[in-house]
Structure 1
């Protein structure tokens, strides 16, 4: 980490910091590190740079390599969960009684199973997120925050960050820093292409399911454009479009606007506020179609926080990896403390721990995206309202991870420039494709490093807290 301190020392006055920031922002535009603005989220003519750090952040090489190695394990784990309806039903039994959104998703999962799975092809574009702790004598340990299975974002923009950081380091006169390539776009698009090709209809198209507000469109466009460069046609549609103009034929092929859809790529549909009643009907139609779903409803459910908590129970990983104790050991080594709040002795003990020392924990609802988790005294406030009711099972309790801060400067439109203590969150992308019983693809697919002010507990890139970053291995 010596280079990092030296680089901060170069910035001896505000003028020099301002100069480097201007160079970095221009480089971000030149390399396509872009977002639309909150004021005009659907305008292609009003753009800004995506939030990013002025400098790359030092990451222990051993930690990065451990997380990279683990990704194939987590790809397999998610795929195995997707195939295990009994486990999913048991894991979600308490949640679906109190969480209407999860209950609706599970209802579609159950109906899809009853009708019979229409596609033999499954694909996962997943991301496992970690923080790392510096323990005694400088020993660093990796701890998983969560894994994500639907609308896994950041891969497009993350691929653009290395070029920006390489340029600013040259300008700053730093020449002994190696910024790794990050080939997320090609690998993510390659997995989509493989699954689409297995569908077997060359006249079919790939459909991105998207939202009305398109602020983060360029993260998606980079993958979309890569698919077009491979001569694969891509369209973008909303739930509303599917409801009005989508249909299944007698062979359960999905059509929209007269075009056959070979693969549906969900970049939307992971929060309750993203649905009206007709959208649920559209989701059911897509799930029951022959089109490949990225992800299918089973993989969507596999990413729910309650499932992740259940995986930490003794014997569960062994169930999914029989005869492979090394895989079990690798995965379990990165689990933080995960605790059920279900009614009963186990949940009561977790409740008591939370009330006794709330700063040691994070209270997590079953929601994706930044800004949903609960911290500190707010944990006691929330739990005190539900401690005697079934409503408490809508949450899980997780050990709070306290990473070592590093100094950096976050560049975000409309904010002041300053070097400040920051914390890193390392996301590792993975892809898998299964055709029938054959796993035809299982790969690590690149990284997403996000950095935020150490004062912030929660929040991601789209929540306006985190910034894109590049790992510098030390």
Structure 2
């Protein structure tokens, strides 16, 4: 329907989170500094979460290091550097201000005073704390009001109102300038036709989407795999930029029926399944296949089923001991770390 009617809004907002892990290549059970390498896990283009909470955690870590760092002899021994150095080594995390700034930039681009930003959320949202910080900062720093609605509520109460040839999105009497998705990325978010109808209303509207459906699909694993192809990558990047990017790519392989290399890729994965991960076109984690599951899936799935996955070289991060606090209770044990790099961009078409 959107394509038949024509895309209403050519300005879009991207709030991305690119996830990395420090891969340890082990040779003869020895890990050296030279064998550590940052590799990209994925790029998230929808509902990239924990930006605000991560800023607060960074502030807490900075406070603890400044307040107690000199008393923690074990830290200096662990990192092998002086206390003063690791106290200043923690990177600055400004996501708690920059994500609201990005939403505010899209709001200003829309250009309608007294419009609102709509957070598209899940029913019984469990990550509301992270989202509320965005809401509060939007009001505190920019004077922008936020509505929180589910896709079903958008379908039930949303209306498209024609104005100057534009289909504006109105919800409970308020015009929506920006639709910011913190849901709509998993099949569980579409249990009935009502949710699909709510998504369609938003996509048909003049509201700036974060992201649009096309931008959403650009974050799929298949697109990640295709963009890692050296020829495709160089369509968009210079040779120098492409070479730099490729240094952070793990091996990525398509499994299309008509691929000339698909049988070779399948044999490679079956022979060493623990070195690879099978990834479907899903978000939110918990859907990947590892180890023996990789070989079993490749051998049992039909070609049509298998081509909905990509094969990725597995990243092996090193484990580090950590103390964790949950519900005021502490526990300790081995953990792995992920580095998340956020990018915020509001873009209008070139004229």
TM superposition shift of 1:187: 0.6
Whole-angstrom CA distance in 2 between matches of 1:417 and 1:270:
32
Change (3 A) 1:166 1:416: closer
Whole-angstrom CA distance in 1 between matches of 2:331 and 2:156:
48
- Tell me if 1:125 matches 2:15: yes
Q: Who is 2:343 aligned against?
A: 430
Q: Who is 2:300 aligned against?
A: 385
Whole-angstrom CA distance in 1 between matches of 2:130 and 2:122:
14
Q: Who is 1:138 aligned against?
A: 33
- Aligned pair partner of 1:240 in 152, 162, 165: 152
TM superposition shift of 1:137: 5.3
Whole-angstrom CA distance in 2 between matches of 1:166 and 1:235:
33
TM superposition shift of 1:416: 6.1
> Gapped runs of 5+ residues in structure 1?
1-110, 439-474
Whole-angstrom CA distance in 1 between matches of 2:303 and 2:99:
43
Whole-angstrom CA distance in 1 between matches of 2:250 and 2:196:
34
Whole-angstrom CA distance in 2 between matches of 1:150 and 1:243:
20
TM superposition shift of 1:405: 2.4
> Gapped runs of 5+ residues in structure 2?
26-30, 73-82
Alignment of 1:261-410 (within 5 A): 261-275=176-190, 276-321=192-237, 324-344=238-258, 345-386=260-301, 388-410=302-324
SS of corresponding position for 2:135:
helix
- After superposition, the C-alpha distances for 1:261-303 in whole angstroms (9 at most, x for unaligned) are 0000000000011112121121111111110000111110000
SS of corresponding position for 1:428:
strand
| RMSD of aligned Cα (Å) | 1.8
Q: Who is 1:421 aligned against?
A: 334
Normalising by structure 2, we get a TM-score of: 0.87
TM superposition shift of 1:166: 3.1
Whole-angstrom CA distance in 1 between matches of 2:214 and 2:64:
43
Whole-angstrom CA distance in 2 between matches of 1:267 and 1:160:
19
- After superposition, the C-alpha distances for 1:226-256 in whole angstroms (9 at most, x for unaligned) are 1011211111011111111101112300000
Whole-angstrom CA distance in 2 between matches of 1:285 and 1:365:
27
SS of corresponding position for 2:47:
coil
Whole-angstrom CA distance in 2 between matches of 1:145 and 1:116:
35
- Tell me if 1:116 matches 2:6: yes
Whole-angstrom CA distance in 2 between matches of 1:142 and 1:166:
23
- After superposition, the C-alpha distances for 1:313-354 in whole angstroms (9 at most, x for unaligned) are 231011223xx2222222222110001111144222221111
Runs of 4+ in structure 1 off by over 6 angstroms are none
SS of corresponding position for 1:265:
strand
